[in-house]
Structure formats: C-alpha cells, structure tokens
Amino acid sequence: MGKYSTNSKRILTKLKQQGIGNVIFTDCARDKNIKQVVPAITKLIGSSQRFQRAENAETCIMVIGVPNVGKSSLINALRRLHLRKGKASRVGGEPGITRAVLTRIQVSESPLLYLFDTPGVLSPRIESVETGMKLALCGTILDHLVGEDIMANYLLYTLNQQQQYR
C-alpha cells in the first residue's frame, strides 16, 4: 500500500473490510496502471478452479459498473495498449452512451481476451437524498433529473462543511 495516496489507502482499507481485495486504480486517459489489468485478470482466472478447462483458449468478461465511471474508456485503453488499435466503444461525458450489450471486443491477443461493454447499472432505489446528490455530482445521474441549481448548492454546502474554500 506504500505507493498510494492517503485517500487511496483509505478506499483500499474500506474495500478490504467489505471483502474486496483485487483493486487497481487506473487513469484511462493517461494509461496509468492499465498495464496491470490484463495480468491481474489472467492470474485471477488461472487460479480459479471453475475455469480450469484446457479447451478454452479465450476469455470473455463483462465490464459492469455504475453509469459514467469509465467502463468504455477502460476497454478502449486496454485495446489501445495491447492491440495498438483505436476505440471500439463510444464514450461521453454523460451517462447513457452505452445502451446495450452488443458485441464482444477483443482487447488482447496473448492471452486472448474479449470484453463486453455494458450499460451502467444502479440500484432501483437510491437509499437517501444525500446518496442521490453524490451520484448526480459524479455524473452518474443526468443533471436535469436533479437540477443544476440544486446540485451546485449541494456541492457548495459539502465543500463548506469540509472547509474546502480554495
């Protein structure tokens, strides 16, 4: 955990408490830590008894997450890094760009790895107004569904609470 920022360490500690261990912080725009993803996938699949099949030369994986967190950007970054090919998934600044699971996208030849891009998923019920506001500020919910003025007010309130005046 030595190479991570204080905030990243806090996140890793929380995830570990929840039983989540295999975490890689990435920056798809600058390919930061992207090289670690395919080896980590290969290691996890290789150590799983369920996938010990000699006839299976290729791996297909679904990329799943909340809207607008970079699922398509991750796929494009892996493809750019390992295959030296262009974008296969459309990306955008608002949720809802990926609308269906369409085709598998090859991102690596050795090992042969395909990813499926999926639309973002959210719980059908957002547990609190505060959680909804945080999701809206992160771009997970369309701005007009909450209201830009309300979002700006909540952001300023939160920054003031944390004494972030800069």
Query: Each residue of 3-47: pLDDT tens digit?
Result: 777 888 999 999 999 999 899 999 888 888 999 999 999 888 888
Query: Each residue of 81-98: pLDDT tens digit?
Result: 999 888 878 777 776 677
pLDDT of residue 145: 86
**What is the pLDDT averaged over residues 102-128?**
89
| 3-state SS, one letter per residue, for the chain | CCCCCHHHHHHHHHHHHCCCCCCCCCECCCCECHHHHHHHHHHHHHCCHHHCCCCCCEEEEEECCCCCCCHHHHHHHHHHHHHCCCCCCCCCCCCCCCCCCCCEEEEECCCEEEEEECCCCCCCCCCCHHHHHHHHHCCCCCHHHHCHHHHHHHHHHHHHHCCCCC
Whether this model's pTM surpasses 0.85: no
pLDDT over threshold 80, residue 131: yes
